[in-house]
Amino acid sequence: MDKLLISPAPHLHSKDSTRRIMRDVIIALMPSVLVSVYFAGLSALLVLVVSVAGCVLLEHLIARYLMKKKTTISDLSAVVTGILLALNLPVSSPWWMVLIGCIVAIGIAKMTFGGLGHNLFNPALVARVFLLISFPVQMTNWTVSNSIFRPDTWELPKGLLGAQGQLLDASSGATPLGIIKEGLANGMTMETLSQQHDFSYWHMLFGHIDGSMGEASVLAILAGLFYLLIRKVIRPVIPLSIVITVALFSGILWLTDPSQYADPIFHLLTGGLLLGAVFMATDYTTSPMSPLGMIIFGVGIGAVTMVIRIWGAYPEGVSFAILFMNALVPLLNKIKPFPYQKEVSRG
Amino acid sequence: MTSTLLYTILSLSLLGGLLAVVLYLIAQKFKVQEDPRIDQVLEVLPGANCGGCGYAGCRAFAENFVKNPDNPDFFCPVGGNDVMKKAAAVLGRDVQEQIPKLAVLRCNGSCDVRPVLNTYDGSPNCAVAADLYGGETGCSYGCLGLGDCVDACTFDAIHINPQTGLPEVVEDKCTSCGACVKACPRNILELRPKGPKSRRIYVACANKDKGAVTRKVCSVGCIGCQLCVKACPFEAITFADNLAYIDPAKCRLCRKCVAVCPTGCILEINFPPKKQVTNNE
Amino acid sequence: MSKTFSIGGIHPKDSKFSRDKSIEEFPFPKRVVISMNQHLGMPAVPVVKKGDVVKTGQLIAEPAGFVSAPVHASVSGTVADVAPYPDFLGKKVLSVVIDTDGDEWMETIDRSPEIKHEITATPKEIFKIISDSGIVGLGGAAFPTHVKLTPLEGMKPEYLILNGAECEPYLTSDYRLMIEHAQEILIGGEMMRRVLGDVAGIIGIEENKPKAIELMKRLTANYLQWKVVPLKKRYPQGGEKQLIDAVLGRKVPSFSLPISTGAVVQNVGTAYAVYEAVQKHKPLITNVLSVSSSDTSIQKNYRFRIGTPIREFLSAAGAMDKEGNLSRSFCKVVNGGPMMGKPVSNLEGPVMKSTSGFVLFTEKETKRQEPGECIRCSKCFQACPMRLQPYLLYQLALAGRTEELDENRVFDCIECGCCLYSCPAHIPLLDQIRLAKNVSLKNKRKK
């Protein structure tokens, strides 16, 4: 080479890149995606495909023609948003609803703020909440289709079986949290509720319960968490803070009156708490940058989630809790990290 | 139903009215007494808030101008003499007309005359490159072509010409606010008078090395021959550190220096082309 | 048990491919260009003029004040010029140029290879010899050693730490010195220890150099005041502040010198130079450098004479082709290590007292990628060994907000490069922070 290359130090760079990180997140999400497709079949696949394609296409169009700059889809963040959005929706979501979700997630929550790295709120959650408020019926409709992937002999969740044991076409509000909220409001106790419905932890771990596509299998989420931790994509601070806060909060309540409150393990395994704690709350752009900020962020999410679950109108509070704490992140980022050294001399 | 409606309308109207009165009283009580002329001056100012006048925005300029209008240093480069006349008129005064200026690049080392010796791969900022080394060419005084001046300009008046690699000033848009001059880490952008019919003459070189060295790295650099100094009938050209400099205050645009310069580093802008003098003897 | 510093740091591949290449004597060139700016502080003042005949080791420039150092001729011959000559970055620096004629050394210099163990000089004499021999910090900073060994008002030294970390990838010059001249390093270190007032001596070596650790441990067994501390392989373990943190657990406050924690840090190369100066009366005119790259055939360690043009080393190592350009798809030569070294734009530029090596890179290894948007991942913050917030400093630097930059301790930046290295979006963090830091320090000096 005849001309020397000149640039200031450093002259080496780590192999890390934004695209690599997003790729790792996509891999971590694969277990949840595979589980939901396995249990729910083609509807799940449809929701996923529409969501990812919609998000990617929308980001490309907005970047090229509205913002008039180079397309940004190559960093794969739109794909991640697409998958996360799909995992937050019920299996039976109609395609137009998913598309509206994409427009809200990418168009409103991400690109209007300036694109990657500039958004204040988690795009997938903004879309989910928007759809929840706009289309409450479709968003709480947990139909399970006849999946070509699911063998006939598979045991169906009790919640979907009617009095004679026949398969119901649809059941609304049949998530475990929903059942409890309704039941407790009608004066039933936890014992009667658990006798009537199947709240088996085993089922929750493996994904037999109803709910949005991603909250079903806890094991799949934990597999993703494990992958993200060993690839050093996320630090365990935020998920741990959320989980500990929820466990403590629900634990204290449960110990005071087990008939009125579900136990901590129930709270940890349901309602997409773990999906939120591992994939949504740990999103770089919308979470704090210092460890202390992260702890406060996690505790806040756990606390608000529990408050909404116990005393709020909705059975599920993770989405709202995360969005609420997202708004506080700029303030949390103002917390100065612990100083390396004292400002004055030693001695 | 109607009673509810009536009560609602009444109570909200009363509340609204009460709050309006409270706000009005507070606004009157805590009103900041200000010279009304400040707002009048602000009206005539262009409102670009560029800082070219040396004050933090048009409002700051207006406040200070009203306080001491006799100070001759007040000048809004964006608005020019017209705006200054209007502003002074608000105060019932006159202002001295100032010479309009514009930014000039004292370097003409485009890629075809100034060979590129290495490839710069750092952050595309002139400040970063200047801090690191002499630049992609052998001349460590010349333009780096990375566009810090373009980024600094708020009037879209300077752009890098992709063929030459040098910034070019758009005459009509340049307000001589001085932002590009401050941004240039080599200090080769200068505010010079626009001149009648936008004509100006200047030495487009900032190289302080000896002539032989300069010649090696750029064919249009100033070699310090001093022919221009001798040729100028108005003693407008000074010579220091192997570099000639034309004082804009003394220069009468006679073009004698341009004719004698052997390297062509003195540029004359917006002049008609010289007639070819044929010598038959 | 290996120690390490408490915050930040990165783990690049150490790439010590040249570790087994023993030090070769590099033949002196036909002409040397010896810069007067060989050290931090005031440039030296030449005491020779064009036409003078000098011997190897003869004084050619005097220090210009306390924070300065003398410069000696590295070859014998005739002074061809005393004028500004371009350095490796093309910047003109006043230099003494000598046309070599043979290799006649000053008679006072002892050229015998035997190691002289007995230290007969008093601490005062040692100090004077260090000062007169032009010894500067050979870790890269080139700070005049006698200044560092002079305790400041109210600060009492407690430890002398010899820096054998060599945390920069590719460089192995310090390692080879330790393997081949461990005894001399220890003697030199012992001399400096006495100058400081019989303080405790520590040698810090990264654990990727087990032979050196073992050798030093064996030698220090006879010296009660010395101990060897193995260090974890981590960048920037060799940084002064990080070294003191790892070895002593003490942190240097902002705007303070390391001596305020009671520690004086010297590079093992400096200790070797001290030995040569005191025991052999040899001023600082040679040093050891590595030439390395990812190509296993371009690996060398040379003992060089100051002022040799860089091109000669690259040629001898086999990195240049017949036309005099870099061969084998190399496109960049870095003077120093890949994390903090400066790029070379002028191959005729000379090597200096503290040059530690040259690393060659191919385009694939070193070309910068297009920067993207900051995704707020805080990897830069996690990597910074001084607990700064590079993402914040970068934005403040771009906006020119000097007061807030000072509030966020931009002056504490040691320019290690960990932030830029870790950023997934390839944002040129250090470029802007370095600029802002220079402006901040300039303003502070004005006050």
Q: Does the CB of A340 have a partner CB in chain C at under 8 Å?
A: yes
CATH number of the domain enclosing C43: 2.40.50
3-class DSSP state for residue A263? coil
| Of B121, B123, B127, Cβ closest to residue C367 | B121
* Rounded Cα–Cα distance for residues A123 and B243 (Å): 60
C129 shares its domain with C64: no
Q: What does the pLDDT read at residue A305?
A: 94
Q: What does the pLDDT read at residue C203?
A: 96
Q: What does the pLDDT read at residue B61?
A: 86
Cα dihedral across residues A298, A301, A302, A304: positive or negative: positive
Q: Give yes or no for residue A165 having a pLDDT over 50.
A: no
**C432/B128 CB distance under 8 A:** yes
Q: Which residues pair with C202 in a beta bridge?
A: C161, C227
**B132/C89 CB distance under 8 A:** yes
> Which residues in B lie closer than 8 A to residue C368 (C-beta atoms)?
121-122
Q: Does the CB of A37 have a partner CB in chain C at under 8 Å?
A: no
- Cα atoms in the 13 Å half-sphere on the side-chain side of B167: 32
3-class DSSP state for residue C56? strand
Q: What does the pLDDT read at residue A190?
A: 75
Q: What does the pLDDT read at residue B11?
A: 94
Please classify residue A247 by burial: count the beta carbons closer than 10 Å to its beta carbon, then call 0-12 exposed, 13-18 middle and 19+ buried.
Answer: middle
CATH number of the domain enclosing C348: 3.10.20.600
Q: Give yes or no for residue B281 having a pLDDT over 60.
A: no
Tally the domains of chain C.
Answer: 4
* Rounded Cα–Cα distance for residues C351 and C142 (Å): 13
Question: Quick check: C371 and C427 in contact, CB under 8 A?
Answer: yes
Q: Is B131 left (phi over 0), alpha (psi -120 to 50) or beta?
A: alpha
Tokens encoding C80: 């061809």
| Of B116, B119, B132, Cβ closest to residue A5 | B119
Pick the range with the lowest mean pLDDT from A5-9, A158-162, B192-196.
A158-162
CATH of domain B36-90: 1.10.15
Q: Give yes or no for residue B121 having a pLDDT over 80.
A: yes
C37 shares its domain with C86: yes
Average pLDDT, chain A: 82
Q: Which residue has the tokens 């002409």?
A: C31
CATH number of the domain enclosing C263: 3.40.50.11540
Start-end of CATH 3.30.70.20 domains in chain B: 101-269
Question: Quick check: B105 and B183 in contact, CB under 8 A?
Answer: no
Most confident of A311-315, C94-98, C328-332, C436-440: C94-98
**pLDDT digits over A254-290, tens only?**
999 888 788 888 888 887 899 999 999 999 999 999 9
Q: What does the pLDDT read at residue A267?
A: 86
Question: Quick check: A284 and C375 in contact, CB under 8 A?
Answer: yes
Average pLDDT, chain C: 93
Q: Which one has a higher pLDDT value, A1 or A64?
A: A64
- C386, closest residue in chain A (CA to CA): A340
Q: Does the CB of B271 have a partner CB in chain A at under 8 Å?
A: no
In a domain, C23, yes or no: no
**pLDDT digits over C177-234, tens only?**
999 999 999 999 999 999 999 899 999 999 999 999 999 999 999 888 999 999 999 9
Tokens encoding C361: 């890179």
Q: Which one has a higher pLDDT value, A214 or A123?
A: A123
The average pLDDT across A30-49 equals 86
Q: Per-residue confidence at A204, pLDDT binned at 50, 70, 90?
A: low
Q: Per-residue confidence at C155, pLDDT binned at 50, 70, 90?
A: confident
C175 shares its domain with C264: yes
**B118/A4 CB distance under 8 A:** yes
Q: Does the CB of B125 have a partner CB in chain A at under 8 Å?
A: no
Q: Does the CB of B49 have a partner CB in chain C at under 8 Å?
A: no
**C434/A8 CB distance under 8 A:** yes
Residue C258: C-alpha distances to residues C157, C273, C388, C410 (Å) = 10, 22, 19, 18
Question: Quick check: B144 and B136 in contact, CB under 8 A?
Answer: yes
What are the backbone dihedrals phi and psi of residue B128, each rounded to the nearest 5 degrees, phi first?
-65, -45
End-to-end CA distance of chain B: 113
* Rounded Cα–Cα distance for residues A62 and A114 (Å): 11
> Which residues in C lie closer than 8 A to residue B127 (C-beta atoms)?
435
Tokens encoding A186: 């009608």
Q: Per-residue confidence at B69, pLDDT binned at 50, 70, 90?
A: confident
Residue A304: C-alpha distances to residues A183, A301, A328 (Å) = 22, 5, 13
| Of B116, B121, B131, Cβ closest to residue A7 | B121
In a domain, C274, yes or no: yes
Closest Cα to residue C88, out of C310, C273, C378, C324?
C310
In a domain, C18, yes or no: no
Q: What does the pLDDT read at residue B44?
A: 86
The average pLDDT across C300-311 equals 95
**pLDDT digits over B174-183, tens only?**
888 888 999 9
The average pLDDT across C391-410 equals 91
**pLDDT digits over C142-152, tens only?**
999 999 999 88
User: Among residues of chain C, what percentage have pLDDT more than 70?
Assistant: 100
In total, the C-beta contacts within 8 angstroms joining chain A to chain B are 27
Question: Quick check: C1 and C246 in contact, CB under 8 A?
Answer: no
Q: Is C263 left (phi over 0), alpha (psi -120 to 50) or beta?
A: beta
C272 shares its domain with C143: yes
In a domain, C38, yes or no: yes
> Which residues in B lie closer than 8 A to residue C438 (C-beta atoms)?
131
**Touching subunits for chain C (3+ Cβ pairs under 8 A):** A, B
Q: Which one has a higher pLDDT value, A198 or C146?
A: C146
- Cα atoms in the 13 Å half-sphere on the side-chain side of A29: 25
> Which residues in A lie closer than 8 A to residue C262 (C-beta atoms)?
346
C144 shares its domain with C38: no
| Of C338, C387, C434, Cβ closest to residue A11 | C338
- Cα atoms in the 13 Å half-sphere on the side-chain side of B57: 4
C213 shares its domain with C136: yes
Q: Does the CB of B120 have a partner CB in chain A at under 8 Å?
A: yes
Question: Quick check: B262 and B227 in contact, CB under 8 A?
Answer: yes
- A19, closest residue in chain C (CA to CA): C424
Q: Per-residue confidence at A205, pLDDT binned at 50, 70, 90?
A: low
> Which residues in B lie closer than 8 A to residue C343 (C-beta atoms)?
132-133
Helix axes B36-44, B58-67, angle to 10 degrees: 130
C168 shares its domain with C259: yes
The torsion angle over the Cα atoms of residues A187, A190, A195 and A197, rounded to 10 degrees, is: 80
The two most distant CA atoms of chain C are separated, in Å, by 64
* Rounded Cα–Cα distance for residues A58 and B237 (Å): 62
- A8, closest residue in chain B (CA to CA): B122
Q: Give yes or no for residue A117 having a pLDDT over 60.
A: yes
Q: Does the CB of A11 have a partner CB in chain B at under 8 Å?
A: no
Q: Does the CB of B46 have a partner CB in chain C at under 8 Å?
A: no
C339 shares its domain with C244: no
Pick the range with the lowest mean pLDDT from A112-126, A307-321, B3-17, C78-92.
A307-321
> How do strand C53-54 and strand C77-86 relate by DSSP bridges?
antiparallel
Q: Per-residue confidence at B278, pLDDT binned at 50, 70, 90?
A: low
**pLDDT digits over C254-305, tens only?**
888 889 899 999 999 999 999 999 999 999 999 999 999 999 999 999 999 9
Q: Per-residue confidence at A169, pLDDT binned at 50, 70, 90?
A: very low
**C326/A1 CB distance under 8 A:** yes
Q: What does the pLDDT read at residue A203?
A: 61
C147 shares its domain with C267: yes
Q: What does the pLDDT read at residue A344?
A: 46
The average pLDDT across A308-327 equals 89
Determine which of B117, B120, B126, B128 to mutate to test the interface with C (most C C-beta atoms within 10 Å).
Answer: B128
* Rounded Cα–Cα distance for residues B260 and B247 (Å): 18
Q: Does the CB of A7 have a partner CB in chain B at under 8 Å?
A: yes
**A6/B133 CB distance under 8 A:** yes
Closest Cα to residue C350, out of C338, C358, C359?
C358
Q: What does the pLDDT read at residue B1?
A: 67
- B137, closest residue in chain A (CA to CA): A3
> Which residues in C lie closer than 8 A to residue B131 (C-beta atoms)?
434-435, 438
| Of B121, B123, B131, Cβ closest to residue A6 | B121
User: Among residues of chain C, what percentage have pLDDT more than 90?
Assistant: 84
Q: What is the DSSP letter of A231?
A: T
Q: What is the DSSP letter of C109?
A: S
**B122/A4 CB distance under 8 A:** no
- C88, closest residue in chain A (CA to CA): A6
User: Minimal Cα–Cα distance from A186 to chain C, Å?
Assistant: 46
Helix axes A42-61, A95-102, angle to 10 degrees: 30
Instruction: Return the CATH class of domain B101-269.
Output: alpha beta
The average pLDDT across C334-362 equals 94
Q: Which residues pair with C273 in a beta bridge?
A: none
Average pLDDT, chain B: 88
User: Minimal Cα–Cα distance from A1 to chain B, Å?
Assistant: 10
Query: What is the ipTM score, two decimals?
Result: 0.89
Question: Quick check: A47 and A213 in contact, CB under 8 A?
Answer: yes
Long-range interactions of C437-443: CB distance < 8 A, separation 24+:
C437/C410, C437/C411, C437/C413, C438/B131, C439/C402, C440/C402, C440/C405, C440/C406, C440/C410, C440/C411, C441/C411, C443/C402
Q: Which one has a higher pLDDT value, C249 or B64?
A: C249
The torsion angle over the Cα atoms of residues B161, B162, B165 and B170, rounded to 10 degrees, is: 10
* Rounded Cα–Cα distance for residues A299 and A154 (Å): 39
C354 shares its domain with C404: no
* Chain C 248-267, residues with CB within 8 Å of chain A CB atoms: 250-254, 256, 260-262
Q: Is C65 left (phi over 0), alpha (psi -120 to 50) or beta?
A: left
* Rounded Cα–Cα distance for residues C68 and C39 (Å): 7
Q: What does the pLDDT read at residue C227?
A: 93
User: Among residues of chain B, what percentage have pLDDT more than 70?
Assistant: 97
What are the backbone dihedrals phi and psi of residue C93, each rounded to the nearest 5 degrees, phi first?
-130, 140
| Of C253, C338, C340, Cβ closest to residue A343 | C253
Q: What is the DSSP letter of A153?
A: T
C218 shares its domain with C344: no
**A8/B119 CB distance under 8 A:** no
In a domain, C229, yes or no: yes
Tokens encoding B204: 């487009």
In a domain, C83, yes or no: yes
Please work out, in degrees rounded to the nearest 5, the angle formed at the alpha carbon of residue A267 by the alpha carbons of A262 and A273. Answer: 160
3-class secondary structure per residue, A154-175? CCCCHHHECCCCCECCCCECCC
Q: Does the CB of C377 have a partner CB in chain A at under 8 Å?
A: yes
Q: Is A271 left (phi over 0), alpha (psi -120 to 50) or beta?
A: left
* Chain C 347-376, residues with CB within 8 Å of chain A CB atoms: 347, 359, 361, 363, 365-369, 372-376
Q: Give yes or no for residue A168 having a pLDDT over 60.
A: no
Q: What does the pLDDT read at residue A163?
A: 44
The two most distant CA atoms of chain B are separated, in Å, by 113
In a domain, C374, yes or no: no
The average pLDDT across A57-73 equals 89
Please classify residue A280 by burial: count the beta carbons closer than 10 Å to its beta carbon, then call 0-12 exposed, 13-18 middle and 19+ buried.
Answer: buried
C84 shares its domain with C149: no
> How do strand C31-35 and strand C92-100 relate by DSSP bridges?
antiparallel
Q: What does the pLDDT read at residue A166?
A: 44
Buried b (16+ CB within 10 A) or exposed e, B193-212: bbbeeeebbbbbbbbebebe
Please work out, in degrees rounded to the nearest 5, the angle formed at the alpha carbon of residue C26 by the alpha carbons of C22 and C27. Answer: 150
Start-end of CATH 1.10.15 domains in chain B: 36-90
Q: What does the pLDDT read at residue C433?
A: 95
Q: Does the CB of A12 have a partner CB in chain B at under 8 Å?
A: no
Which structural domain range is residue C410 located in? 379-446
Q: Give yes or no for residue A216 having a pLDDT over 70.
A: no
Q: Give yes or no for residue A337 having a pLDDT over 90.
A: no
Helices (H), B112-153: 126-132, 148-152
The torsion angle over the Cα atoms of residues A64, A65, A68 and A72, rounded to 10 degrees, is: -20
**pLDDT digits over C48-98, tens only?**
999 999 999 999 999 999 999 999 999 999 999 999 999 999 888 999 999
Helix axes C268-280, C123-132, angle to 10 degrees: 100
Q: Give yes or no for residue A158 having a pLDDT over 60.
A: no
* Rounded Cα–Cα distance for residues A18 and C423 (Å): 9
Q: Give yes or no for residue C402 having a pLDDT over 70.
A: yes
- Cα atoms in the 13 Å half-sphere on the side-chain side of C245: 21
Q: Per-residue confidence at B276, pLDDT binned at 50, 70, 90?
A: low
Closest Cα to residue C222, out of C190, C265, C268?
C190
Domain boundary among C227, C246, C280: C280
Q: What is the DSSP letter of C205?
A: E
Q: What does the pLDDT read at residue C271?
A: 96
